[in-house]
A and B are shown apart, each in its own frame.
Chain A
Amino acid sequence: KAGVTQTPRYLIKTRGQQVTLSCSPISGHRSVSWYQQTPGQGLQFLFEYFSETQRNKGNFPGRFSGRQFSNSRSEMNVSTLELGDSALYLCASSLSGTEGEKLFFGSGTQLSVL
């Protein structure tokens, strides 16, 4: 089974620009979550999508948005980039079971904002 695929792996943008990141979940997984990871803050939850609907949302400003398509692929968008948005953005698809959610992460998109 193919894993979670994120594109692109690396991005360099300048302040004020916008960016779109893509995530293809594991086949059969309908839930996709997005996280921002920085050395100082660790993994911070952005949002979760299930069946094209946002099911949960973290505490990020409205500049961060996402969507999910009917094939479960997901995109997240960051508008008006700030220097502090530089981070590793991780996507995870998940499988619910008796032990709770099990997250399967992609390799991430490393975003640098200059």
Chain B
Amino acid sequence: TQLLEQSPQFLSIQEGENLTVYCNSSSVFSSLQWYRQEPGEGPVLLVTVVTGGEVKKLKRLTFQFGDARKDSSLHITAAQPGDTGLYLCAGAEAGNNRKLIWGLGTSLAVNP
């Protein structure tokens, strides 16, 4: 069974700090997605990374896909309270990009 492990599970930081969260697997994915979910809402897609080594930036968020397409990281610069939420990664199985494998998420709290 493919698994995606996310770390840390919980993170509480002060506004302005930088942070990195990780998404790791022993399996290769054809693509990997990052979502953010706020309390009482469904996840919202932030980015999809496809190519090994790819880096994508979304304002203060930087996403990287590992060279071997088995892992990914999300770095947030100067975190703000609006970044608070559950960050989920989901990998698409190689050869079947409709089947997503989900991590359990990193719950981030940014305190003002």
User: A4 touching B42 by the CB < 8 A rule?
Assistant: yes
Task: Say yes or no for B103: interface residue by CB 8 A criterion.
Answer: yes
State how many angstroms separate the Cβ of A4 from the closest Cβ of chain B: 7
In the assembled complex, A90 has its CB within 8 A of some CB on chain B: yes
Please, how many residues of chain A have a CB less than 8 angstroms from a CB on the other chain?
Answer: 22
> Roughly how many angstroms separate A107 CA and B103 CA in the complex, as a whole number?
19
Q: Does B92 touch A at the CB level, under 8 Å?
A: yes
Is A81 part of the binding interface, using a Cβ–Cβ cutoff of 8 Å? Answer: no
The A/B interface has a contact count, at CB < 8 Å, of 56
Interchain CA distance A92-B98 in the complex, whole Å: 13
A104 to B46, CA, bound (A): 11
A40 to chain B: closest CB distance in Å? Answer: 8
Contact yes or no, A92 B105, CB < 8 A = no
**Do B102 and A100 touch across chains, with their CB atoms under 8 A apart?**
no
Partner of A101, one of B43, B97, B103, B105: B97
A108 to B100, CA, bound (A): 19
Of B42, B50, B105, which is within 8 A of A105 by CB? B42
Q: Which residues of chain B from 69 to 112 have any CB-CB distance to chain A below 8 Å in the complex?
A: 88, 90, 92, 97-100, 102-105
Q: In the complex, are the beta carbons of A99 and B48 less than 8 A apart?
A: yes
A100 touches B30 (CB 8 A): yes
Q: Indicate if B31 sits at the interface (CB-CB under 8 A).
A: yes
Closest B residue to A48 using CB positions: B98
